[in-house]
Amino acid sequence: MKLRIPTSPPYLSLTSGPNKSEAFLKGVSFASGGAGILDETSVGILKGTKTDETMNATRLGILGSINDLIRRSITFNQQIEYLSIVQEELVRQLGNEAAQNYLSKSLFVIVIGSNDILGYFDPSPTAPPKSNPQQFVDSLTLSLTGQLKKIYDLGARKFFVAGVTAIGCCPSQRNQNKTGGCNEEANYWSARLYEGVKSMLQGMQSELKDMKYSYSDTFGILLQFIQKPSNYGFVEVASACCGLGKNNAEIPCIPISQYCPNRRDHVFWDLYHPTEAAYSIFADIIFDGPKQFVFPVNVKQLVTM
């Protein structure tokens, strides 16, 4: 909306169309809910939610169906493979030079990493053994470096990368804290990943001189919402708008859940995700906000470069 272009359609919705090559010229979305930097990341809704004997069969059935869908998310590496197919199709249609010119002017939006952190701090007793958090964050940064370089090699030159947010402040993580406050351990390692990716992007730009990027401090923006809610029109910063149980975060937002009467008052829609009102402010700041929250340039500046 800010760029005055239509929303990019999902890649898989275009693959069987008669004019897919033409459609690819209008933008494509490869995003998949539940995906992470690592292939093994798949944050199921049942993880960290209440699924004990007090939950009836209907609720469990709904949760299980949602969980199955999320576990079939398309990995980030597979999304990059889909991009390579689009790149080949553009070369076939436009020729190599014109395709490269088209891709170099395109904006590549990368929003990933939160599911990896959420999965790491999953309290499920059936979760597999984990490396120590520093090793885990290092592995995420290393993997993302390779993935962004693959996207660069396919022709991308302009990147917007969203930094991982303050995961420990989402309602599901607050429920793990006896005080009801943010999970500071999850926030600490979210911040370490944010800093790791920041350094990585600076290094990539030094190495790849024609790469340009914008990186958002999504962590800092969310903390502003939580620490100074009235400045942004929020009232409730801890509980989800839609869900059941403590903080509306023991059971996720499903058809039988209750929801708040005024979702614009809430920072969080469900146990993980912000509300539309919060996302709208994120978008405003990312598009033309100050270097405090988006740098070395904002998206408005990036697209003109």
Using an 8 Å Cβ cutoff, are 119 and 43 in contact?
A: yes
Q: In whole angstroms, give the CA distance from residue 66 to residue 49.
A: 13
The answer to whether residue 6 is domain-embedded is no
The answer to whether residue 268 is domain-embedded is no
pLDDT in the model for residue 130? 74
Residue 295's contacts (CB-CB under 8 Å, 6 or more residues apart) are 214, 215, 217
Q: Among residues 156, 146, 159, 153, which one has the least CA distance to residue 76?
A: 146
Lowest mean pLDDT among 21-30, 229-238, 263-272: 21-30
The answer to whether residue 108 is domain-embedded is yes
pTM score of the predicted model: 0.89
Distances (CA, A) of 4 to 8, 31, 288, 297, 300: 12, 20, 14, 19, 12
Range of the domain at 285: 11-227+279-302
pLDDT in the model for residue 43? 47
**What's the rounded mean pLDDT across residues 177-198?**
95
Would the CA dihedral through 27, 33, 36, 38 be positive or negative? negative
The answer to whether residue 99 is domain-embedded is yes
Q: Indicate the number of domains in the chain.
A: 1
Q: Could you give phi then psi for residue 107, rounded to 5 degrees? A: -100, 125
Confidence of residue 48 (pLDDT cuts 50, 70, 90): very low
**What's the rounded mean pLDDT across residues 39-62?**
54
The answer to whether residue 113 is domain-embedded is yes
54 pLDDT higher than 50: no
The answer to whether residue 2 is domain-embedded is no
Q: Among residues 252, 221, 226, 251, which one has the least CA distance to residue 237?
A: 226
pLDDT in the model for residue 34? 87
Lowest mean pLDDT among 53-57, 256-260, 266-270, 301-305: 53-57
The answer to whether residue 267 is domain-embedded is no
Confidence of residue 53 (pLDDT cuts 50, 70, 90): very low
pLDDT in the model for residue 25? 85
Confidence of residue 123 (pLDDT cuts 50, 70, 90): low
Using one digit for the tens of pLDDT, what is the confidence trace for 126-144? 556 677 999 999 999 999 9
Tell me if residue 152 falls in helix, strand or coil. Answer: helix
Residue 85's contacts (CB-CB under 8 Å, 6 or more residues apart) are none
User: Which has more confidence, 192 or 45?
Assistant: 192
Q: In whole angstroms, give the CA distance from residue 63 to residue 59.
A: 6
63 pLDDT higher than 80: no
Lowest mean pLDDT among 2-6, 191-195, 214-218: 2-6
102 pLDDT higher than 90: yes
The answer to whether residue 66 is domain-embedded is yes
pLDDT in the model for residue 61? 54
